Amino acid sequence: MAGPLDEFVARITRMVADFVQEHGLEQAELRIELADGSRYLVATTAADPGFGFFSFTPHRSEGEEPRRVIVPIGAVKAIEISAPDPERRVGFTPAEGSA
C-alpha cells in the first residue's frame, strides 16, 4: 500500500473524467472487483475511513436498501472504467471535494 487514500480516490475520479472526455460520453461506469471475486457497480467513492481502508457506495437495484462498503485497499483486485450500459443509465459520481 503506497500513497495516501485521498490521492488514490482523487486519481480514480480523474481517470473516470478523462475516460468520459476521451470517448465523448456523458458519464461512465466504474466497477470494483474485490479479491474474493465480488464485483460492484460503483456510484461514489471516498477515502474515508482511512487507516488502509476506503469506502464506496454501490448502485442499488430497485427495492435494495442503500449501503456503503468499507474495504482495505489491499482487497481490491481490479477497477474497471467503461461506457455505461444504455439499459441501466447509471454512472459514477465523484464525491464532493474530489478531483
pLDDT digits (tens, 9 = 90+) for 71-97: 999 999 999 999 988 776 566 666 654
Tell me the CATH class for 5-82: mainly beta
pLDDT at 61: 82
Distance (Å, whole) CA 93 – CA 42 = 9
pTM: 0.82
Domain extents for the chain?
5-82
Distance (Å, whole) CA 25 – CA 18 = 10
